[in-house]
Amino acid sequence: MPTIACLSDTHLKHAAVTVPRADILVHAGDCTKRGTRAELEGFLRWYGAQPAAARLLVAGNHDAVCEERPDLARELAAKAGVTYLCDEELVVEGLRVWGSPVTPKFRDMAFNVERGPAIRAVWEAIPTGLDLLVTHGPPRGLGDRIFLGTHVGCADLLERVKVAAPRVHVFGHIHEAHGDYTLDGCATRFYNVANARLTIGTRPATVIELEARPEAAQSSARGAALRRGLADGAP
């Protein structure tokens, strides 16, 4: 059963985060503070050195360089041994994963989309049958309560999750709402995995175990064989 160590909102404090050995590492966005290339490269040097069979990265609203220069972000991640996901799917270690950096518009930051039809169109691309959904921001009412008491998550994301029914939904963004959540009538397990605390200090990575589905495992094995063949020069 693959183990998944989940991080989010490290904001350049990654070196202070306890990350156990896992099969898959997932970072749900805001690895930088000011969104510069230098910050991204520094994070990737650290992230790429963490022991895991796969390391996945989704950007967040602070990671401006990833929005401004998406090809560069993907290139830098690949060089560090990290897979960058931006509204796309990956099968890894027998698990179907989808990652999105999008959050509702706030202060004109990176990957912001207006609430309503515009952001609903983004979420409609999330497929059914996922094992793991990774978004930077939370759905409405789950891990989204800020210190003032307001719930700021995305209602349209919640509605899509109810339909798509991923087995696990991992996110961050709201530092003070860290924890695991459930929703009546929904089998999805929800985790806010933000590492940076609202004021000072960090939390360790959140570790999840998720059994691979046979059909996804076969797809993952075919992909690994294809990658090996390409590396060996096969047509």
Q: How far apart are CA 97 and CA 38, in angstroms?
A: 28
Residue 10 confidence (pLDDT)? 98
Residue range 12-26: average pLDDT?
97
DSSP 13-68: -GGGS-----SEEEE-S---SS--HHHHHHHHHHHHTS--SEEEE---TT-HHHHH
Q: What is the percentage of the chain residues whose pLDDT exceeds 90?
A: 87
Tell me which residue of 137, 149, 148 sits closest to 190, measured CA to CA: 137
How many distinct structural domains can be found in the chain?
Answer: 1
CB 91 within 8 A of CB 216: yes
Residue 80 placed within a domain: yes
Q: Give me the numbers of helices (H) and strands (E) for the chain, helices first please.
A: 6, 13
Residue 218 confidence (pLDDT)? 55
pLDDT-based confidence at 133, cuts 50/70/90?
A: very high
Residue 96 confidence (pLDDT)? 98
pLDDT-based confidence at 227, cuts 50/70/90?
A: very low
Q: Which residues contact 45 (CB under 8 A, 6 or more apart)?
A: 80
Whether pLDDT at 36 is above 80: yes
> Residue 78: helix, strand or coil by DSSP?
helix
Residue 216 confidence (pLDDT)? 61
Residue 235 placed within a domain: no
Mean predicted lDDT score pLDDT of the chain:
93
Residue 166 placed within a domain: yes
Whether pLDDT at 226 is above 70: no
Whether pLDDT at 106 is above 70: yes
Residue 234 placed within a domain: no
pLDDT digits (tens, 9 = 90+) for 203-217: 999 999 999 977 665
Q: How far apart are CA 111 and CA 225, in angstroms?
A: 34
Q: Which residues contact 159 (CB under 8 A, 6 or more apart)?
A: 123
pLDDT digits (tens, 9 = 90+) for 65-76: 999 999 999 999
Q: How far apart are CA 26 and CA 32, in angstroms?
A: 15
Residue 166 confidence (pLDDT)? 98
pLDDT-based confidence at 192, cuts 50/70/90?
A: very high
CB 30 within 8 A of CB 10: yes
DSSP state of 175: G
Residue 4 confidence (pLDDT)? 98
Residue range 80-103: average pLDDT?
98
pLDDT-based confidence at 123, cuts 50/70/90?
A: very high
Residue 200 placed within a domain: yes
Give the global pTM.
0.91
We report the CATH number of the domain holding residue 120 as 3.60.21.10
Residue 47 placed within a domain: yes
**Domain range for 121:** 3-229
Q: Residue for token digits 């307001």?
A: 150
